[in-house]
Amino acid sequence: MKVLVVGNGGREHALAWKLLQSPQVQQVVCVPGNGGTASLERCHNLPLAVDDFAGISTYALENSISLVVVGPEVPLAQGITDYLQSQGLMVFGPSKAGAQIEASKAWAKSLMAETGIPTAKAAVFTEATAAKSYLKTQKIPIVVKADGLAAGKGVIVATTMAQAETAIDTIFQGEFGTAGNVVVIEEFLLGQEVSVLALTDGITIRPLLPAQDHKRIGEGDTGENTGGMGAYAPAPIATPELMTRVQTEVLERAIAGLTARGIDYRGILYAGLMISPDGDIKVLEFNCRFGDPETQVILPLLETPLEELILACVEQRLGAMPPIAWKSATAATVVAASGGYPGKYDKGKVITGIPEAETAGVTVFHAGTKLHQEQIVTDGGRVLNVTGIGATFPQAIAQAYNGIKSIQFDGIYYRQDIGHRIL
């Protein structure tokens, strides 16, 4: 079969790479893809925008694409699944209605309240005066969030009242466009974050291996928030007992709530959780898609062919599938970023050393690269995800660092302490 993957990050490179390992998958087309997917055997890029639904549909129908796998949240929230399905295509990813679980934090909060999913106490506002009056009744730190999609930038953890007030003003003044028409103010939670991504066909829910990522730019988890500077799986903090609670108290309730709202949710349901020091679970957010960079450590450990699991979700027969098979190993990824990220950075820097890194045993997923005149050049803030696999975390992490040291481009930056919590 031929599969079309929508998106251009490290997550989509990992999806294409994993899909091509399945004996049933002959070819993958990435829209628009990156330098990594351009270089992958039996894979090519198609230069269309992820919101060009008509273009994607025409191409898919004319080129006998059997399955479309959607990576990013933006096209899902815009209804790519509904559109492509209406054209007769098979699509993995929830409908526009289902994607609200990520696209509106207020919507997700009300779903959690209705279904008893544990989460931080929160209040929702549509104008600044009421938001600020509420703020005065709260303690700091406090978390101020733009309701809609803001590429991970719409969440401000304020450590002073002044900072929280500024955040309210900034969001309502349009910093994040219409994503900031509504503001959610939320109690600050302390603990360790875990990402639990689950496959679902709207009835059955099968969690993938739990992962943790490092969101901050600096060593020791300090400095600005980023899209993620490194990740590892399976996260030891997510014990089997904890995963059972996530299944019953979070995932099953979420699917029940979605069903009660008339939504047949098929795809990935990603719960971003905070585990408190005494083991309490609270949901920070839901996402309607695979995590990035979590996918780059989860998929290398997956043994069941990915396309079989995806088709079982789309065709609503996940319950009949045997348990998901995993390698008994660990994986860690280190993100190589452009100097200056998450602030301003340059693009177009020539990248060398990827083949040498791969010879050293790592898998290099491209996040922000492109193929330019036969050379791989930087094309984003997060450039590469260098993934190591090993029987133990120290081995996987050492392999990733051993690989990344061969890689060079002008301004390369990566954290030296990925996995410090588990080492």
Q: Please give the residue ranges that form the binding site for ligand AMP (CB under 6 A).
A: 120, 143, 145, 155, 157, 186-189, 193, 215, 272, 284-285
186 vs 379, beta carbon nearer ligand AMP: 186
What is the Cα–Cα distance from 347 to 123, expressed in whole angstroms? 40
Strand, helix or coil for residue 6? strand
Q: Does 12 bind ligand GLY (CB under 6 A)?
A: no
Q: Does 228 bind ligand GLY (CB under 6 A)?
A: yes
We find the least distance from the C-beta atom of residue 359 to ligand AMP, in angstroms, to be: 35
> What, of ligand GLY, ligand AMP, none, does residue 189 touch, CB below 5 to 8 Å by kind?
ligand AMP
> What, of ligand AMP, ligand GLY, none, does residue 157 touch, CB below 5 to 8 Å by kind?
ligand AMP
Closest CA to 19 of 354, 401, 349, 306: 306
What is the Cα–Cα distance from 40 to 185, expressed in whole angstroms? 44
Of the ranges 242-250, 286-294, 334-342, 391-399, which one interacts with ligand GLY (CB under 6 A)?
Answer: 286-294
89 vs 301, beta carbon nearer ligand GLY: 301
Among 35, 207, 291, 403, binds ligand GLY (CB under 6 A): 291
Asked if 71 and 289 touch (Cβ cutoff 8 Å), the reply is yes
3-state secondary structure 178-190: HHHCCEEEEECCC
What is the Cα–Cα distance from 105 to 100, expressed in whole angstroms? 8
Helix (H) or strand (E) holding 59: helix 53-62
187 vs 358, beta carbon nearer ligand AMP: 187
> What, of ligand GLY, ligand AMP, none, does residue 291 touch, CB below 5 to 8 Å by kind?
ligand GLY
Closest CA to 381 of 177, 225, 207, 156: 225
We find the least distance from the C-beta atom of residue 302 to ligand GLY, in angstroms, to be: 17
We find the least distance from the C-beta atom of residue 173 to ligand AMP, in angstroms, to be: 20
> What, of ligand AMP, ligand GLY, none, does residue 228 touch, CB below 5 to 8 Å by kind?
ligand GLY
> What, of ligand AMP, ligand GLY, none, does residue 371 touch, CB below 5 to 8 Å by kind?
none
Alpha-carbon dihedral angle through residues 209, 35, 80, 289, given to the nearest 10 degrees: 20
Of the ranges 234-242, 255-263, 285-293, 333-341, which one interacts with ligand GLY (CB under 6 A)?
Answer: 285-293
> What, of ligand AMP, ligand GLY, none, does residue 380 touch, CB below 5 to 8 Å by kind?
none
Sequence-distant (6+) residues with CB within 8 A of 156 are 143, 144, 145, 163, 164, 167, 170
Which residue number has the CB closest to ligand AMP?
Answer: 285
CA 104 to chain centre: 16
We find the least distance from the C-beta atom of residue 207 to ligand AMP, in angstroms, to be: 18
What is the Cα–Cα distance from 106 to 126, expressed in whole angstroms? 11
> What, of ligand AMP, ligand GLY, none, does residue 193 touch, CB below 5 to 8 Å by kind?
ligand AMP
Instruction: List the Cα angle 227/43/36 in 5-degree steps.
Output: 35
> What, of ligand AMP, ligand GLY, none, does residue 213 touch, CB below 5 to 8 Å by kind?
ligand GLY
Q: Does 147 bind ligand GLY (CB under 6 A)?
A: no
Q: Does 201 bind ligand GLY (CB under 6 A)?
A: no
89 vs 284, beta carbon nearer ligand GLY: 284
How far CA 86 is from CA of 97, 200, 371, 410, in Å, comes to 15, 21, 34, 46
> What, of ligand AMP, ligand GLY, none, does residue 82 touch, CB below 5 to 8 Å by kind?
none
Among 37, 287, 296, 378, binds ligand GLY (CB under 6 A): 287
48 vs 122, beta carbon nearer ligand AMP: 122
Q: What's the number of CA atoms in the CB half-sphere (13 Å) around residue 155?
A: 18
Helix (H) or strand (E) holding 218: strand 216-218
Residue 360 burial by Cβ neighbours in a 10 Å radius (0-12, 13-18, 19+): middle
We find the least distance from the C-beta atom of residue 398 to ligand AMP, in angstroms, to be: 27
The interface with ligand GLY within residues 294-353 (CB under 6 A) comprises: 294
What is the Cα–Cα distance from 74 to 51, expressed in whole angstroms? 8
Strands, E, within 133-204: which ranges? 142-146, 155-158, 183-187, 192-200
We find the least distance from the C-beta atom of residue 287 to ligand AMP, in angstroms, to be: 8
What is the Cα–Cα distance from 406 to 399, expressed in whole angstroms? 12
Binding site for ligand GLY (CB under 6 A): 213, 228, 287, 291-292, 294
